[in-house]
Structure 1
């Protein structure tokens, strides 16, 4: 999970200034918005460019309201809407999607940022019986994105952004056994890797299925290593060794590297880049790092996460698991 030296990194503040005209009057829906998270930092950053509406999705009403207040203080002209959604439950996801689709005053969503996620949690099942990281990080965003797709495609320049990670290096999709034999063979870092690979494959699928016909742009990204609430549950004196052991067993260079951290402003720069940069139209479906398109020859980009064949296999598995078909 190493990143280049923080002094050379682009910042969200710089990019928001550059893209101000592209952000102004846009409607952006971001999941996983709460104080001290990338989602929270992202919506506060882009609020400075006066988007028309920011939709904040999360599972905690109190935290959503806190973020809403922060945005209203930054940009009083921007409409702010909160959306309660628990990604651990497909029923909650369906209800949230139905709510978004019912909002007559918001006819289109210009950018959907699937930012919410969990990392390296102990084995457990979602409400619907799926391994928690796959359920929260992929299956819920997969269904939510597709259920509000009609509203996204009503935008003049629709985009979907999936926050993945270079942690995708830790595992391809376990097509025959996504639940790790009911936990018997569970490794929390491998499970995290599987879910992050799925994020990248979903962006590829959306770009492939809807890019030409509906001009939808879809991207995945690695924000870098940032000190946020995402890893608060981990005991790094133990868990870092587990991550390094997993990397070493796979022959990944990260097993022998030290972390290189970014500031939150640097960390969300790639969120801003993926959401608004106009030059990305020629790289639909791409995986992004450091506010640029990743280079498979010099960056950590595994072939299992950039294969259209794997993307189609994952699309079909996801439809099977959530019990919904999305034909485009």
Structure 2
């Protein structure tokens, strides 16, 4: 078995790698296909009044869906939310929410959320360490939670609850329905929304629309098959970090990029591959690094960077690929 790689073997291994990178994306996608199971009710309508998220609500969060769109039994849940909102000079509106266990209405809030009114929706984005089950193994992962709510004219809300990890080992998207519980007497109240710091502009939010992802091996000029993704980016209130959910339009497989410190990065799930002699084995890891381009762009027209491929095992190697992400439409 080879301890190193000749140019020809390295080129073959890069081909293996490109396939492995795609397999890694699909593997992540298998656990992270984004399907939403609808909640019953009428279509959302834009409220006639200004944006308000106030009062007590019965919140139904729908079940997790399998990769083929079927509900997972026992994953739906019900919560009680108590919300307060305010709008500042200039039109920026913010809301705070206290989450209460409906079985323990007098207990302290189990969690507090902060929403901002963005482009007609109430939006909450949070990043925190989490757990992700891959097969029968529970692994540590960095989790992102995104909640989007749209008001109906009757005072209720409907929306989506999205959870994804980076790398994309796990993800799910769930429907939400908020029904006001008028007359409810909740002793637990959320924090004062007026005390929350203002929402900051995030440069990473400009990554949105349809993009074509291409890898090129610079030593030979070989261009690997391109892939199309629909990008939606959500950013923390501080504006310093964002998550870009890149979904393939045909399969819904998920490719996750994280923005921070002026760079978009992606870490792919590790995978196994054979050496070029078809006997030895290697463990492959892959990460992308694409810096934010100079000058203002909104939306981002494209990104250019590197993909770093590391092989460890019977035929170790390190390979760099050129990567482009080119915007093709909304």
Q: TM-score, normalised by structure 1?
A: 0.25
* Larger RCO (alpha carbons 8 Å, 6+ apart): 1
Q: TM-score, normalised by structure 2?
A: 0.25
Greater share of strand: 2
